[in-house]
Amino acid sequence: MNICVFLSAADLDDRYTGPAREFARLLGKGGHTLVWGGSDVGLMKVVAEGVEEAGGRLLGVSVEFLAAKARPGVDEMVVAKDLAERKRLLLEKADAVVIMVGGTGTLDEATEILELKKHGHTEKPVVLLNTAGFYDGLKEQFRRMEDEGFLPRPLTELVFFAEEPVGALAYLEESLGVA
């Protein structure tokens, strides 16, 4: 599988890097390809290293103004002209999406894929990896949106909330029939 991971490029503490490294190791050991923002900094670097060390492939999609931070020596690197093109290419190249901890960029990417799913423009499985309860508030907000009629589809059809890396990958493999 080509698994797109949306996540932070910030340097974070072990409560976030540990589970991210575990997910990356599982992804690589499963023979999957990481599709990510291409950066060689912060949590993005942690995940890319973990996938590579476990034998997975790396497909980066950087953007012109961040090209200097792109990870060297990957299997494939595409440089988009802007963030909108980057997001489109990331989703285009992916079979599934995992949303890890991140800031406004990650949240933008997450809402884009959920909006596409909501309107039936994609059926790719999406997992929100809720490391250390990072997305508890967002999960509550999504449930409120569903309860109050803001979502035309059940929340469970849009996103799967995983608390642990192994559950995230298991859901994706099951959804796509990969053993």
pLDDT in tens, 87-125: 999 999 999 999 999 999 999 999 999 999 999 999 999
| CB contact at 8 A, 98 and 131 | no
Phi, psi of 150 (to 5 degrees): -85, -15
* 177 pLDDT tier (thresholds 50, 70, 90): confident
User: Global pTM?
Assistant: 0.94
Dist CA 18 CA 25 (whole Å): 11
Q: List the structure tokens of 87.
A: 């997001």
Q: Give residue 174's pLDDT band: very low, low, confident or very high (50, 70, 90).
A: very high
Write down the mean pLDDT value for the chain. 95
Distance CA 114, CA 118 (A): 6
What's the length of the chain? 179
Provide the terminal-to-terminal Cα distance of the chain, rounded to the nearest Å: 11
pLDDT of residue 178: 81
